[in-house]
Structure 1
C-alpha cells in the first residue's frame, strides 16, 4: 500500500477479488462494504447511526498483476466514496435488480476493514468492568471477510487478523478454512512478487494440487488430426448416424464419407 499510494482497505479488496476470480467467480467481482457516512464535518458532533453500504466492482479481466489490480481498486473506490451519501435503498430502487429471498440483491460477499478491539476493560471509577464481545450466530451475507489490523503501542502496524463469517446453508467450516488458507497464501505471494499476474499466483496447498491431479487423471497429448481424419473416424465409429438433413432427405455418416471420398 505504501509503494502504490493506496490504503490497506484497497489491498484487502484487491486480494479478495483476486481470490474470488481464481476460485471461479469470473472477472467482474462485486463486493459490498460499509462506510461511516460521516463525510461532512458538520456530522462530527451529531449523535446517530449514519453507516451506509457501498457496492464496489473490481475488474480482474486480462490477468493483471496485483499492482495493476490495486490501481483498478483505487480508481473504483475513490469514485464510490465520492458518492457514499447516496442511500443504499435508493440505489436498489433505481437499479431494480431481480429480487430473491435467498440472496442480497446487489452483492453476496461483504468486506470490512478495521482495527482489532483493545482487550483492556474500560476504567469507570470504582466499578469493576470487563469487555464482552457478543457472538453473532446469524450471517448477514453469503460470505464476509473481516480484516482487523493490530497496531503496536507506537502506532506502527503489527500484522492483521482475518475473520470469515459465512452462511452455513452454503458452506461448511472445512471449506471456509480452506478459503482463508488460500487467501493467506495469495497475500504472501503478492507481498513478495506484486508484479506477477494474479492467474499465476500460488493459492493452492500441495495436497490440493495432488488432489487436482488425481481428479484430472493422467495427462495425455491430444492426437493431431486433420478435419477429414476426424470425420472418417466419426464415420467409422457411428456409420448409421445421421450426418446431414435436407428437407426430406437424410444422409448417414457412412454415405457422406463415401460421397466425399468420390468427390
Structure 2
C-alpha cells in the first residue's frame, strides 16, 4: 500500500554522526552482523481498539515518518569520516495481517506471538524510512500495531513519541479536533550540539571526573560458556522472566524508603551477583541510560541511549543496605556528570581491555521506567495501550552486538518484568537462567533483611 507524502522533500545533506552512532561503530561487523545489520532493530507493539481505517493509518505513518530526519538518514561508515545523509522522505511499509480468531482472554498471548515473530525478522538498513509497521487484526475493532525502527535511528523513548504522533495524526486526518504536537528538533541538530558542547566548561569538568573515577578501572566482564575463537554461529535468544508481584512491591517500597530509585536497588542486586560470579569487589558495570539529558531534544526521534560505566567498590560491604548506599552514591555522581561513552573511554583507554578477551563478555544492565504516553488513552476513534509484560522466551530476537543485556521493565501496575538477551555463541540458556535465579534470590533476601549479613 502506498500513499503520497504531504511533506516536501528536503535537500540531501550530510551531517556528522552523534556520539551514540559513533559508539555503535565500535561493534561494527559489517552489514551481516552487529549494529549496522538488518537485525539491530527495536520493536514495540500496542493494542488498538476502535474501528480502524487502514488507508488513513498508512497516511498517518507516512506523515510522521517524513517529519523525523533520523528515520530518513543513511549512514556512511568505513575508513573515512563517517556521516549521515538526510534523504527525501519516502513511503513507509505497512503490512496488514489477519490474526487467528481467539477469545478475548487469549488475545494477549497472540499479540505477544506476533511481536516475537516480527523481532525474529530482518529489516534492511538500506531501505528508507527506518520506520516500518505491522497491523495484526483480530477483528474490525481490535488489532495490534507493531512499529519497527532500526536502532541506529531510534530508541525506546522514540517509540513512545512515534505512536503518540501517529495516533494523533490519524485522528486529525479522520476529522477530529486534536491538539498540535510539540515541534521536534531534528536529530542532526542534536549531533551538531554534541560536537559543539564537547569543549564546554561542564564537559571538560565531567571528563576530569571520569578520568579520576576510572583510573586503573576495567569494565567488568563475565566468563562465557564458549570462547569467541570457537567460531560458533550467533543468534540472539531472549530469556524472559517475571519477579513475583510480592517481590516487585517489596523492591519498589524498599527503594522509596531508602531514597533510592528502583534502578539503584536493581543495580545493587546485580552488583552482588557480579561480585559472586567474578570474585571482584571493584565493579564497573555497563549501564544503558536514556541519554535524554537535554530537554530541548525530548521530542526528537533518534538514538540517544548512552553506555555509562558505573564503578562501585563493595569492599567491606556486609549487608544489602550497605551495597545499596554505595550503589546510590555511584549513580548520583555519575548521572550528574554524564557525557557520551566515547568521551569517557578516551579518559580511560584500558577500560574495555577485559571485554576483548576471548572467553569474556560484558553483561549490560538497563531499566525501563519511561512514562507510557498512550496507556489506554482514547484519541479520536482509537484507544491505544502498549503490549507490556511479555512472558514467553524466544529463540532469536533482535541483535545484541556483543555479550548480553539484562533489562528490567517496571510496569505502571508496579510489577517488574525482565528479559535477558544474549549471544548464543557466547552463553548458554542454562547459564542465563542460573544468573536470573540467583539475582532474584539476592533481591528477595536483600529487601526482606537489608541489615542482615549477606549469604
Q: TM-score, normalised by structure 1?
A: 0.61
Query: Which of residues 308, 314, 335 is equivalent to 1:81?
Result: 335
The reply on whether 1:142 has 2:403 as its aligned counterpart is yes
The residue that corresponds to 1:230 in the other structure is none
Summarize the Cα distance change of 1:118–1:75 in structure 2 as closer, same or farther, 3 Å threshold. Answer: same
Summarize the Cα distance change of 1:87–1:67 in structure 2 as closer, same or farther, 3 Å threshold. Answer: same
Asked if the contact 2:400–2:423 (Cα under 8 Å) also holds between the matched residues in 1, the reply is yes
Asked if the contact 1:142–1:170 (Cα under 8 Å) also holds between the matched residues in 2, the reply is yes
The reply on whether 1:12 has 2:273 as its aligned counterpart is no
Q: What SS is found at the alignment partner of 2:285?
A: strand
Deviation at 1:7, TM superposition (A): 0.5
Cα distance in 2 for residues equivalent to 1:6 and 1:80? 14
Deviation at 1:38, TM superposition (A): 2.5
Query: Which of residues 343, 346, 355 is equivalent to 1:90?
Result: 343
Please list every run of 5 or more consecutive structure 2 residues that lacks an aligned counterpart in the other structure: 1-254, 389-393
Summarize the Cα distance change of 1:162–1:46 in structure 2 as closer, same or farther, 3 Å threshold. Answer: closer
Deviation at 1:151, TM superposition (A): 2.0
The residue that corresponds to 2:324 in the other structure is 70
Summarize the Cα distance change of 1:166–1:103 in structure 2 as closer, same or farther, 3 Å threshold. Answer: farther
Deviation at 1:170, TM superposition (A): 2.5
Query: Aligned ranges for residues 133-172 of structure 1 at < 5 Å?
Result: 136-152=397-413, 157=414, 159-172=415-428
The reply on whether 1:189 has 2:445 as its aligned counterpart is yes
Q: What SS is found at the alignment partner of 1:31?
A: strand
Summarize the Cα distance change of 1:143–1:50 in structure 2 as closer, same or farther, 3 Å threshold. Answer: closer
Asked if the contact 1:30–1:109 (Cα under 8 Å) also holds between the matched residues in 2, the reply is no
Deviation at 1:130, TM superposition (A): 10
Which digits, 9 at most, give the CA deviation of each residue in 1:26-74, with x for residues without a partner? 1112211222222233333445433222110122222431111111111
Deviation at 1:142, TM superposition (A): 2.1
Q: What SS is found at the alignment partner of 1:2?
A: helix
Cα distance in 2 for residues equivalent to 1:2 and 1:101? 34
Query: Which of residues 13, 31, 37 is equivalent to 2:291?
Result: 37
Asked if the contact 1:32–1:111 (Cα under 8 Å) also holds between the matched residues in 2, the reply is yes
Please list every run of 5 or more consecutive structure 1 residues that lacks an aligned counterpart in the other structure: 201-263
Cα distance in 2 for residues equivalent to 1:41 and 1:161? 28
Query: Aligned ranges for residues 110-129 of structure 1 at < 5 Å?
Result: 110-115=364-369
The residue that corresponds to 2:173 in the other structure is none
Which digits, 9 at most, give the CA deviation of each residue in 1:152-208, with x for residues without a partner? 2xxxx2x2112112222232111111111111111111121011233x2xxxxxxxx
Q: What SS is found at the alignment partner of 1:77?
A: helix
Cα distance in 1 for residues equivalent to 2:354 and 2:438? 30
Cα distance in 1 for residues equivalent to 2:330 and 2:269? 15
The residue that corresponds to 2:256 in the other structure is 2
Summarize the Cα distance change of 1:47–1:161 in structure 2 as closer, same or farther, 3 Å threshold. Answer: closer
Query: Aligned ranges for residues 97-116 of structure 1 at < 5 Å?
Result: 97=350, 102=356, 108-115=362-369
Summarize the Cα distance change of 1:140–1:103 in structure 2 as closer, same or farther, 3 Å threshold. Answer: farther
Asked if the contact 1:110–1:141 (Cα under 8 Å) also holds between the matched residues in 2, the reply is no
User: Higher relative contact order at CA 8 Å, sep ≥6: structure 1 or structure 2?
Assistant: 2
Cα distance in 2 for residues equivalent to 1:20 and 1:175? 13
